[in-house]
Structure 1
Amino acid sequence: MVGPPERRHHRTRQRREVLDLLAATDEFISAKQVHTRLRERGSTIGLTTVYRTVQALAEAGEVDTLRLGTGEQHYRRCRDDHHHHHLTCRHCARTVEVTGPAVEAWARQVAAAHGYAEVNHTLELFGTCADCRPAAG
């Protein structure tokens, strides 16, 4: 039996390189940053391939994505395989993984009230972390 379409993908060298890099990185980074860091490691992977790879990994649920205020998509391999959200500092981009049982219950309630099923959602929280608060004034 073949798995769901989002889980069917090939384990190419490029995919392994991107996953390994993201697993070793704590913060969310852009595809351009992924490319630069891979090149610094001696990889020959092209920028277009990096863009395609991070998008495929995001669609497969293997990496989380975060759209920053600039509109640019950033990627991270999260430590938590369960559904969670991110609280990100708008100054230094430090990110904390958080769960939100109340948000999950609310999403189910809203979906049911409107006759929807199989609903998913994203929630992005931005603020100023304790380290940046004094500098942010």
Structure 2
Amino acid sequence: MTSTDTPRTATRHTWQRAAVRDLMERVEEFRTAQQVHDLLRDEGAKVGLATVYRALQAMAEADEVDVLRTPEGELAYRSCSKGHHHHMVCRSCGYSVEIQADEVEEWAALMARKHGFTDAGHELEIFGLCRDCSKQQVSLG
């Protein structure tokens, strides 16, 4: 490899990855790679599903998106604010809200100290039905 060659592990900045990044900045819900792919196709972008997966993984590794595992076991992605926070996520439509949970932070720190752990971290995602989906479910019931 010469000094002008780029290592194969370098992140490529392609229009497809830019399209994924742009979409993620516009959606408020957590979205799976398949959902991101479908949205991009609906907008006319010719992006392969494997490219979407790679782009989302690269964005997650760069802390550009948050990742959570849905109750169904799928990974879902969302552009979020920086800093430590948690999410409330609608199981029906994917709508999410960033939340602060001071009580959880205090409890986690207490549990770590109590059991002799240091440098402890945690993740908390709360799943339920958002207001709109709850209303829709009541009207259908």
- Could you say which TM-score interval applies, normalised by the shorter chain? 0.7 to 0.9
Q: Aligned-pair RMSD on alpha carbons?
A: 2.1
Sequence identity (%): 47
Letter in 2 for 1:46: G
In the alignment, which residue of structure 1 is the partner of 2:93? 92
Letter in 2 for 1:106: W
Deviation of residue 11 (structure 1)? 5.8
Deviation of residue 58 (structure 1)? 1.7
| Structure with the greater alpha carbon radius of gyration | 2
Q: What whole-Å deviation, never above 9, does each CA across 1:6-33 have from its counterpart, x for those lacking one?
A: xxx6361243322111001111111012
In the alignment, which residue of structure 2 is the partner of 1:115? 116
Aligned residues: 128
Q: What whole-Å deviation, never above 9, does each CA across 1:104-132 have from its counterpart, x for those lacking one?
A: 12112222222322222111101222223
Corresponding position: 1:28 with 2:30? yes
TM-score normalised over the length of structure 2: 0.77
In the alignment, which residue of structure 2 is the partner of 1:81? 82
Deviation of residue 55 (structure 1)? 1.9
TM-score normalised over the length of structure 1: 0.78
Distance 1:81 1:135 in 2: 33
In the alignment, which residue of structure 2 is the partner of 1:46? 48
4+ aligned runs moved over 6 Å, structure 1: none
